[in-house]
Amino acid sequence: MAEATTQETLNPFAIAQAQLDKAAEILHLEPAVHALLREPIRELHVTLPVKMDDGTTKVFKGFRVQYNDARGPTKGGIRFHPDETIDTVRALAAWMTWKTAVVDIPLGGAKGGVICNPKEMSPAELERLSRAYIRQVGRIIGLEKDVPAPDVYTNPQIMAWMADEYAFLKGYNEFGVITGKPLALGGSKGRNDATARGGMYVIREAAKVLGIETSGATMAIQGFGNAGQYAATLGRELLGTVIVAVSDSKGGIYKADGLDPDAVIRHKQETGSVVGFPGAEPISNAELLELEVDILVPAALENVITAANAPNIKARISAELANGPTTPEADEILWKNGVYVLPDFLCNAGGVTVSYFEMVQNAYDYYWDLETVHERLDRKMTAAFHAVHEAAQRFDIDNRTAAYVVAVDRVAEAVRLRGWV
């Protein structure tokens, strides 16, 4: 029985619902509003036959979940992952709903996914899969309906194929239907590092309220993909932090007096992993999480901080660039132990914010310079941080619950005003 309970606790959608329930209680949400916000408004399951390079046809399963569009068209990434599940996609779509609300952009939340292993597929196979996905979900997406973006194991090239397939289906270009595109196809400057940059802005604000001097502060990053790599370089550039440890799926490295992020990135590009970086000690992913550092950045996958290891987390700030890295039980422990958590849908909202900027630029065919993107992102992330921090102080609650309170209140208001309940 205990084992089943543990599995249920780690179901990402069950976690998303439990987090919503907590906020609903604080806000005294009406039962009908609460019930509506606990489930996706619509979801589409698709079957994708794709011709492989060897001439065989492989059948893939995909999803698109549109969680809530009360505040505007839904928005959210598409993941290509061998372990993708509908519950993961539902949870991520829910978190996107709260994420767009917490940074106060006029969008709802969605997410998509295909069960596949892109590492085992050729570029031609990935292109055929990308186009097959859009042929199926194209009927429910669009600039005024639902706008996908890159996510785990998808990238600007995949977005370009998808935007092209959508244009073919429609008979005209509508570049705003997909964000995270290459610049030549209507992408936004500043999108590539937006998730990590937004995270650095909220870390900066958190450090101010906690009285932490970021210059010289130590930082450990679990997960060294796109967001983790930018977190390392921007942590040094914007905050003056010292990166003492980083890790990826193969293991981690530690150096007490600091790693050179650029050199580690080069090493990973050359060898495929951070492991074996010259002059650094090996460290496991589990050990990295428990290091005595000022700032911990979980930038990998879900459920890495649990009730089992939360008591050993010694960081002063945990800045969640990953989606769902902390379980509800772990949240309670971290809060009691004084770890200042910057919850995922606040901390990593820089990506969707600049994706929204991309939609705006596409809509009126005028593109901003990089400085304008950074300045507007900073303004949005700073305002979102302070809204969450103030809610946490007002209700005496942890930051994740406070972020939910801010976001759920905004979505609930839209639901009421539209007369849905």
Name the nearest CA neighbour of 198 among 378, 355, 339, 76.
Answer: 378
Name the nearest CA neighbour of 302 among 36, 127, 87, 103.
Answer: 87
| Half-sphere exposure (Cβ direction) of 97: Cα atoms closer than 13 Å | 32
Cα 368 from Cα 363, distance rounded (Å): 13
Name the nearest CA neighbour of 42 among 99, 100, 112.
Answer: 112
- Helix runs in 237-340, H state only: 261-271, 285-289, 328-336
Which whole-number Å values give the CA distances from 242 to 215, 216, 289, 312, in the listed order? 8, 6, 16, 21
111 a catalytic residue: yes
| CB-based contacts of 39, cutoff 8 Å, min separation 6 | none
Q: Which of 75, 111, 255, 268 is catalytic?
A: 111
Residue 344: CB atoms within 10 A of its CB come to 25
Helix (H) or strand (E) holding 375: helix 370-395
Which amino acid belongs to residue 50?
A: V
Q: Are 107 and 75 in contact (CB under 8 A)?
A: yes
Which whole-number Å values give the CA distances from 136 to 112, 276, 338, in the listed order? 12, 43, 47
Cα 243 from Cα 259, distance rounded (Å): 6
- Helix runs in 51-155, H state only: 86-102, 123-137
Cα 233 from Cα 174, distance rounded (Å): 34
- Active-site residue set: 111
